[in-house]
Amino acid sequence: MESNCVFCKIIDRKLPAKVEYEDDQIIVFHCKDPSAPVHLLAVPKKHIPTLMNVEEADLPVISHIHKIAQQMYRQFNLDGMRVNNNCGEKGGQDVFHVHYHIKGWK
């Protein structure tokens, strides 16, 4: 874990978050500054700075995030959903720990 990473601190329970899902690979919690009626962040527990740093061995966790996004869609009874990843500063990434925004509408 990276000591200055806000998501690592949430994973380590050093910062609070409203957690919706957690297992040994990922954590999903509510965004503190939502831009949709449902706005969750899905974060791998392994610290990976950007999507461009994902290695072959990391692909199962990326796939797992998409599976859990489907679960969140059902859990929140959504009618529409957007799943996105911002990569790099110019791509809008502000926390350099891979994460996916799961935004949903009813």
Catalytic residues: 99
> Which residue is associated with the tokens 């009626």?
37
Say which residues have a Cβ less than 8 Å from residue 29's Cβ, sequence separation at least 6: 10, 17, 18, 19, 20, 40, 41, 43
Positions of E strands within 1-89: 19-22, 26-30, 38-44, 80-84
Q: How far is CA 78 from CA 22, 50, 67, 96, in A?
A: 20, 28, 15, 28
